[in-house]
Amino acid sequence: MQCSNFFMVIVFVFIGQIDEHEVQVQAYRLDKRDCVVQDSNQNKYIGLKKRSMLNKVPFCSYQGIPYAEPPTGNRRFKDPIAVEPWGEERDARVEGSECMQIEPLFSMGKVIGSEDCLYLNVYTQHRSNASHPPKLKAVMVWIHGGGFVFGSGSGSIYGPDFLIDHNIVLVTFNYRLGAFGFLNLRNKDVPGNAGLKDQVLVLKWVQKNIQSFGGDPNSVTLFGESAGASSIQLHLMSGSSTGLFHRVIMQSGSVYCPWTFVRDPLARANQLANHLKLNSTDPCKLVQVLRNVSSYQLTVTQSELMKTEDMDRGFYFPFIPSTELTGTGTNFITEHPDLLLKSGRLMKVPTIVGVNSREGIMVLLGKNATPEVLETVDKNFQRVVPDILNLTPNSTKFKEVTDKIKRFYFRGGQLSWDSLENYVDLMGDIYFVAPIYRSMMNMIKKSPEPVYCYEFAFEGSRGLAKALTIAALPNVANISGVSHYDDIAYLFPVAIQGWEQEIVSSSMDRKTIDRLTMLWTNFAKTGNPNGSGFSLWDPHHPSRERYLYIGNDLEVRHRLFFQHRMNFWKDIYDNHSNNTEV
């Protein structure tokens, strides 16, 4: 099986699987009524009392709460439907199934999950039998990453232990992935973006029910990483999400990232049909057949669609968000994000947005980088030209841009093993940093609300993606910087068997966990990340450029991250594109 996802190669070097029994925070028995909640529909949930990992703060864990009817059978690919009230007690001590996927990080590349997967988890210090109603707490809703093809809200990875110490309410959840969540036939039956509409339904559930868990529905912060961050920016542009949240934190993702949005979703659907040897491109006939394909076969087949040249240009995932045809049901987005962002048609809310110091390290693992691999990349360098520039391949302008990029990143215009770090920076810039910078600057121009920018550069012992890269490719062990994904373990426990990381109270790892969770939860509570622990981070402004450098210390820098490289990409976008929407 050929896997389209560059994360998939991680399965060959991964050092263990999640053992939920080993990593689960030890529950302790108090009054059962402490963790019993009844929502607005009179549904009752029996949760589990726990203590947080670092500070032993007691909290209640409610897992496996259904927020939508199972999208199975004839509901496959359709917009989600809110779950019907069941009016009886429900055991909320076990998580619901993950959505269908090939999970490369924690399940050794196996097909896992179920189509019945639309569940959420709530973690709160709120006690249901408290003698006096407490003040409602700020709510943080986490949207997981994974390129829209894998991942979940699992407590084994995105557990509450670090954030719950700051007395917020945390919500994590699953949404449909791959073709199940993003097949778009541009008709009323399969209008597209079902996975994003799942997310909207979660936000509506939060508005209706979170007060029962001690959360404030008028103080909701969306935060997410990679595809989760891209999702958040799409929510800012969607009328379906208006009023459902009040602040956002976008980590290492943007609508401009080449793996976030597809221009022609029908072409991807027809590609799937051809791969399954279906003799029709008629959307009505196609969906009838696809609803009868097993969930296993559909999951495996979609991972085989993308070719090497597609992946070289950042098109790793065949089924991702796309524009919907107006009038095909309850639309999430009907215009291209470029147009919406540049015209300022987005929700204006306080925002944190940033990148890691060397996002492209993970790409080395995906390509199984060797001198021979880089030689092949050098021979086919034209593939790195971003599709968003809308340049005609082999045209004079296309060749000029290809040459310009190569000369900028590689002195002498030659890519080789000696210029590996330059290659990592190029890949990180194309897939993550430059698109994030581009969208960030557009948001700053169009929104009167504060936009706080950061670079996460702390190189501690909890960087999983970099550790896996070095394990697979020992000859890159000396590369510096923080890989894509490696900020996550400073917000969440990321508890994986075989990669246990002791957190010493006096260590820089612990200090960084405390700093990052403080900044994030301060922002969730007030819209300002500053507080008693730190008060120097100002929002960025075109006349007052600055960002927070999160390294061994917190340092405010009076410019923007990677300014020289970002100026280069600004020139490319502004002066060398055939796309007036860029």
How much is the pLDDT for 130?
64
* Phi and psi at residue 431, to the nearest 5°: -80, -25
Helix ranges restricted to H, 343-392: 361-367, 371-379
Tokens, residue 93? 């001590």
DSSP letter at 109 equals: T
How much is the pLDDT for 128?
74
How much is the pLDDT for 129?
67
How much is the pLDDT for 466?
94
Rounded to whole angstroms, the Cα distance separating 111 from 273 reads 20
- Concerning whether 166 is annotated as a catalytic residue, the answer is no
How much is the pLDDT for 5?
41
Burial of 395 by CB count in 10 Å (0-12 exposed, 13-18 middle, 19+ buried)?
Answer: exposed
Residues 6+ apart with CB under 8 A from 243: none
**List of the chain residues with pLDDT < 50:** 1-30, 581-582
How much is the pLDDT for 367?
79
The domain 353-576 is classified under which CATH number: 3.40.50.1820, 2.60.40.420, 3.40.50.150, 3.40.50.300?
3.40.50.1820
Radius of gyration, CA atoms only, the chain: 23
How much is the pLDDT for 243?
97
**Per CATH, the architecture of 34-349 is what?**
3-Layer(aba) Sandwich (3.40)
How much is the pLDDT for 178?
97
User: Residues 359, 419, 455, 483: which is the catalytic one?
Assistant: 359
Which candidate, 65, 61, 249, 250, places its Cα nearest to that of 160?
61
* Residues 517 and 524 sit within 8 Å (Cβ to Cβ): no
* Residues 316 and 387 sit within 8 Å (Cβ to Cβ): no
Which candidate, 1, 3, 101, 10, places its Cα nearest to that of 366?
10
Rounded to whole angstroms, the Cα distance separating 413 from 521 reads 45
Rounded to whole angstroms, the Cα distance separating 389 from 124 reads 45
- Concerning whether 540 is annotated as a catalytic residue, the answer is no
Residues 498-555 pLDDT 10s:
676 789 999 999 999 999 999 999 999 999 999 987 889 999 988 889 999 999 999 9
Which candidate, 354, 398, 325, places its Cα nearest to that of 254?
354
Which candidate, 501, 77, 489, places its Cα nearest to that of 302?
77
Question: pTM to 2 decimals?
Answer: 0.93
* Residues 112 and 295 sit within 8 Å (Cβ to Cβ): no
How much is the pLDDT for 105?
66
Do 353-576 and 34-349 have the same topology in CATH?
Answer: yes
Report how many helices (DSSP H) and strands (DSSP E) the chain contains, helices first: 17, 16
**% of the chain residues with pLDDT over 70:** 90
Residues 163-177 pLDDT 10s:
999 999 999 999 999
How much is the pLDDT for 426?
96
- Concerning whether 484 is annotated as a catalytic residue, the answer is yes
Rounded to whole angstroms, the Cα distance separating 302 from 3 reads 9
How much is the pLDDT for 18?
35
Which candidate, 192, 172, 197, 169, places its Cα nearest to that of 182?
192
List beta partners, residue 547.
557
Tokens, residue 80? 């989600």
Sign of CA dihedral 445, 386, 356, 425: negative
Which candidate, 456, 454, 534, places its Cα nearest to that of 489?
456
User: Residues 126, 144, 166, 484: which is the catalytic one?
Assistant: 484
Tokens, residue 335? 């215009």
Tokens, residue 541? 């402004």
User: Residues 226, 238, 252, 357: which is the catalytic one?
Assistant: 226
How much is the pLDDT for 483?
98
Rounded to whole angstroms, the Cα distance separating 498 from 492 reads 17
How much is the pLDDT for 260?
96
Question: How is the chain split into domains, by residue range?
Answer: 34-349, 353-576
